[in-house]
Amino acid sequence: MGILVSKKRPPAWLFGLVGAVVIAGFAYATFTMWRNDVALSERGQQTSARVVDTGKRDEVEFRTADGEQVHALIGQRLSGPQLAVGEQVEIVYDPADPTSDVDDVRARDDHSVTFLMFGVTLAAALSIPVVTWRLARSSSRRRSTSA
């Protein structure tokens, strides 16, 4: 028994609404990454950390200047050396929010993921309204010719 699949397109307004939600999500993620990059460059403090996990994202533990033990993820990056559990690395953390993403000193200037997210956000912000407009126009043409 097969699955029934409708050949009818969803309405243009629904595509536009979902697109707006996607754009907002990418914009928020981009802004969060950019804000963290700025915080680390303006007020970041350097310290030594121990790598505790190397899953999807590398996790480290370290002590802040006031002695608080913290676990944090190393920020998104495309460069830098591969880390191993137990390895000691120099990191930069934000003393105002030590649990936010930290930077590995050896790949400190790698903002490529932030720029990539900005590019995806910009592409979506430019293309989704155009596609929504074309869908709405196409839909109205079909309705007028079938009437």
How are the residues of the chain apportioned to helix, strand and coil, as percentages rounded to the nearest 5? 50, 20, 30
CA dist 107 to 52, 78, 125, 126, 129, Å? 18, 9, 30, 32, 37
Q: What is the pLDDT along the chain (147 residues), one digit of tens a residue?
A: 566 666 777 788 899 999 999 999 999 999 988 888 888 889 999 999 999 999 888 899 999 999 999 999 887 666 667 888 999 999 999 999 998 888 888 776 667 778 888 999 999 999 999 999 988 888 776 666 655
pLDDT for residue 69: 95
pLDDT for residue 68: 93
Using a cut of 0.75, tell me whether the model's pTM lies above it: no
Q: State the Rg of the chain over Cα.
A: 23
What span, in angstroms and rounded, lies between the C-alpha atoms of 139 and 106?
54
Beta strands in 66-131 (DSSP E): 69-73, 88-93, 103-104
Residue that is written with structure tokens 């009818």 in the block: 8
Domain ranges for the chain: 41-110
CATH number assigned to the domain covering 41-110: 2.40.50
What span, in angstroms and rounded, lies between the C-alpha atoms of 110 and 83?
16
